[in-house]
Amino acid sequence: MTSITEKTAKPARKKAPVKAEVKEAALIEIKAEAKQGKPIHHDESEAKKGKKLPYLYSVGKRKTAVARVRFYPKDERTDFIVDGVDYKTRFPYSEYQLIVEQTLKKVDMLGKYFITVKLAGGGIKSQAEAVRHGLARVILKFDETLRKTLKGDGLLTRDSRKKERKKPGLKRARRAPQFAKR
């Protein structure tokens, strides 16, 4: 005779592999292919079949803006895509385009690699500066010898200045109400 708890108990489910384990397995596979002399780069047809292309990843920040940068060193495309569109469409003013291009021009990589960026938070200028910071960090992962070049222009330093919060009794963070003598 079975008890009530045995009838109502759910069968145990198998756990899915953790994302980190999947990424590690993919990296091991890429390194094994490289050791065997197989080319690492993939074409778009493989990407469409569901195979993921190898990339370097970094995050850039400025104020509340966050830029997640993916750098594909072995891809044949040379696009620079921000939020699904070309960066010149996403940043229509030349001032912002110059900010975004600054890192790539400094190391002479503009138009040579496939780069995608996803943005969140902040205004358009701080987003452009976050992209610049993220690009500098991902390029450093790609080629460590460029550290001196990037650091000299302050591209690797995260600009941590943010708007200070408003304090009670004041009009802004530090602006006090005007004093009236009489």
Asked if the structure places residue 175 within a domain, the reply is no
Same domain, 87 and 155: yes
Residue 124 has pLDDT above 80, yes or no: yes
Q: pLDDT band at 8, cuts 50/70/90?
A: low
Which pLDDT band, with edges at 50, 70 and 90, does 111 fall under? confident
Same domain? For 101 and 50 the reply is: no
Average pLDDT of the chain is: 82
Say if 24 falls within a structural domain: yes
Residue 73 domain flag: yes
Q: Which domain holds residue 144?
A: 55-160
Q: Is residue 79 part of a domain?
A: yes
Number of domains in the chain: 2
pLDDT tens digits, 18-35: 555 655 665 566 555 555
Task: For residues 70 and 49, state if they share a domain.
Answer: no
Residue 3 falls within a domain, yes or no? no
Output the domain CATH number for residue 101: 3.30.230.10
pLDDT confidence of 181, banded at 50, 70, 90? very high
Phi first, then psi: give them for residue 21, nearest 5 degrees: -65, -40
CA–CA dist 54, 74 (Å, integer): 8
Residue 66, helix vs strand vs coil: strand
pLDDT of residue 39 exceeding 50 = no
39 and 114 co-located in one domain: no
Question: ∠118-122-123 over CA atoms, to 5°?
Answer: 100
pLDDT tens by residue, 132-174? 999 999 999 988 999 999 999 899 999 999 999 999 999 999 9
Q: Are residues 30 and 75 in the same domain?
A: no
pLDDT higher than 90, residue 116: yes
CA distance 45 to 30: 18
In a domain, 176, yes or no: no
The answer on 152 and 66 residing in a single domain is: yes
In a domain, 1, yes or no: no
Tell whether the model's pLDDT for residue 97 goes beyond 60: yes
The pLDDT tens digits of the residues spanning 136-146 come to 999 999 889 99
**φ and ψ at 164, to 5 degrees?**
-75, 145
69 and 107 within one domain? yes
Indicate whether 155 and 67 sit together in one domain: yes
Pick the last residue of a domain from 28, 54, 80.
54
Mean predicted confidence (pLDDT) in 88-97: 93
pLDDT at 15: 58
Distance of CA 129 to the CA centre of its chain: 12
Same-domain status, 45 and 131: no
* Stated pTM of the model: 0.68
Same domain, 105 and 32: no
Amino acid residing at 83: D
